[in-house]
């Protein structure tokens, strides 16, 4: 059996390795359009590779996918987070769990994952063909023909794991086969706030905010990072994922509301009541779980003098400070997506695929895996988990 895998990313390698291990007589070739494979694996998680997430309940796991979670449930019953941990550990790569449930190799470097996948592929005699762009798929007489760099090559089975595309036109070669495509738009991006004074606080991290998009029901909680271009961190990235399609429609011009403390107004007013007897200076006494630089920034913005005593704070200033702490508003004008770690929502419509085998319902012998599918997860290892799961199922079932 001759199997082609289109795409040398996480899903493509998982598919090729699983196919070869399921059928040792199969011949496997990975076609990669660029000069490098596993680029996202290498750069993800700040070069540490966030392999998966320690969410070991399938019902909880699927809640981390803005698109595709419901359909992935079927796939996860065959291979999910626990299986991923076992898969790597059985091959000598131990994973560790961090406080936020993200899982990384114990070595703390993504190179460990890259080396494992490359060495395993080499030991299994899986061929990797670099600079090999597949421009078309043609079907004939129980064979699947690929046009690779203008040359016709014939295969018994094909696994398409070519990754996400920033534009729908990048998937024209699949539209030509009749596949329904959900228009791709970016997911997991940071919010740009050009010339906003808050960017002066770049590097400040706030442990637990609630971020919401004004005029919508979109809301997420978690840490927030202020950057030189605006805002990032898990709360913002999760918000961008769940709001990917809605925010694209605004052309990335919208307002974000930040509750810096993650508490409601009633709770905060109670805290202020306790402070009403304090003789301490407000600039020196910050009773909230926010960094000192942010606290001083807020007081200066509200023109509260450095000598202001807590129990002498005017009602007007108190109300404005409460509003700023739980309902601060910022104009967003644009986004930043990191090219190497680009995640898109959209892609192949999941109704086209048997989610238990990853085989196309339209064409026998063609399988799909990875980010090409209309599946995307929030930050935390969920996108890689979808890649491992769909790659494993595509590989296993294509080799039968």
The pLDDT tens digits of the residues spanning 230-239 come to: 999 999 999 9
Assess whether pLDDT exceeds 70 at residue 399: yes
Residue 142, pLDDT above cutoff 90: no
Q: For 203, which DSSP code?
A: T
Token digits for 271? Answer: 């805290």
Cα–Cα distance between 290 and 209 in angstroms, integer? 10
Structure tokens at 6: 């289109």
What are 348-364's pLDDT values in tens digits? 999 999 999 999 999 99
270-328 residue pLDDT tens: 999 999 899 999 999 999 999 999 999 999 999 999 999 999 999 999 999 999 999 99
Confidence of residue 34 (pLDDT cuts 50, 70, 90): very high
User: In the chain, where does DSSP find H-type helix?
Assistant: 10-22, 39-47, 58-61, 69-76, 81-89, 111-123, 172-175, 234-242, 244-249, 265-275, 292-301, 315-326, 382-398
Q: What is the pTM for the complete model shown?
A: 0.94
Please give the angle made by the CA atoms of 318, 320 and 324, to the nearest 5 degrees: 115
Name the pLDDT band for 166 (thresholds 50, 70, 90).
confident
* CA–CA separation, 136 and 194 (whole Å): 42
CATH number of 2-186+338-398: 3.50.50.60
Given this model, what pLDDT does residue 249 score? 97
Per-residue pLDDT at 392: 99
pLDDT at 340: 67
CB-CB contact of 33 with 47 (8 Å): no
- The mean pLDDT of 54-66, rounded to a whole number, is 98
What is the CA angle 326-229-241, rounded to 5? 65
pLDDT in tens, 119-138: 999 999 999 999 999 999 99
Give residue 338's pLDDT. Answer: 76
| The predicted structure's pLDDT at residue 196 | 97
Delimiting residues of CATH 3.50.50.60 domain(s) in the chain: 2-186+338-398
Q: Can you say how many angstroms the Cα of residue 205 is from the centroid of all Cα atoms in its chain? A: 20
């Amino acid at each position: 059996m001759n199997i082609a895998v289109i795409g040398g990313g996480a899903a493509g390698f998982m598919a090729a390795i699983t196919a070869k291990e399921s059928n040792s007589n199969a011949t496997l070739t990975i076609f990669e359009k660029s000069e490098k494979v596993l680029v996202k694996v290498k750069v993800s998680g700040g070069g540490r590779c966030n392999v998966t997430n320690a969410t070991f309940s399938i019902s909880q796991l699927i809640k981390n996918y803005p698109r595709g979670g419901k359909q992935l449930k079927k796939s996860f019953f065959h291979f999910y987070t626990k299986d991923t941990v076992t898969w790597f550990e059985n091959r000598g790569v131990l994973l560790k769990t961090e406080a936020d449930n993200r899982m990384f190799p114990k070595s703390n470097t993504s190179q460990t994952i890259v080396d494992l996948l490359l060495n395993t592929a080499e030991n299994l005699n899986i061929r990797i063909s670099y600079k090999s762009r597949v421009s078309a798929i043609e079907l004939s007489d129980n064979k699947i023909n690929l046009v690779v760099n203008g040359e016709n090559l014939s295969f018994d089975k094909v696994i398409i794991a070519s990754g996400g595309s920033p534009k729908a036109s990048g998937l024209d070669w699949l539209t030509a086969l009749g596949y329904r495509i959900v228009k791709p738009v970016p997911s997991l991006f940071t919010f740009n706030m050009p010339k906003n004074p808050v960017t002066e606080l770049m590097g400040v991290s706030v442990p637990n905010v609630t971020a919401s998009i004004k005029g919508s029901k979109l809301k997420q909680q978690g840490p927030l990072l202020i950057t030189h271009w605006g805002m990032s961190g898990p709360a913002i990235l999760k918000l961008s994922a769940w709001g990917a399609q809605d925010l694209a429609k605004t052309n990335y011009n919208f307002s974000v509301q930040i509750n810096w403390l993650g508490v409601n107004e009633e709770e905060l007013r109670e805290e202020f009541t306790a402070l009403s007897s304090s003789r301490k200076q407000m600039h020196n006494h910050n009773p909230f779980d926010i960094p000192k630089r942010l606290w001083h920034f807020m007081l200066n913005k509200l023109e509260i003098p450095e000598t202001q005593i807590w129990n002498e704070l005017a009602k007007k200033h108190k109300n404005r400070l409460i509003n700023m702490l739980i309902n601060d508003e910022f104009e967003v004008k644009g986004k930043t997506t990191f090219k190497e770690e680009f995640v898109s929502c959209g892609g192949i419509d999941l109704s086209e695929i048997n989610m238990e085998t990853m085989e196309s319902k339209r064409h026998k012998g063609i399988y799909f895996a990875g980010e090409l599918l209309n599946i995307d997860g929030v930050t935390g290892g969920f996108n890689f988990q979808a890649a491992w799961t769909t790659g494993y199922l595509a590989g296993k079932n294509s080799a039968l």
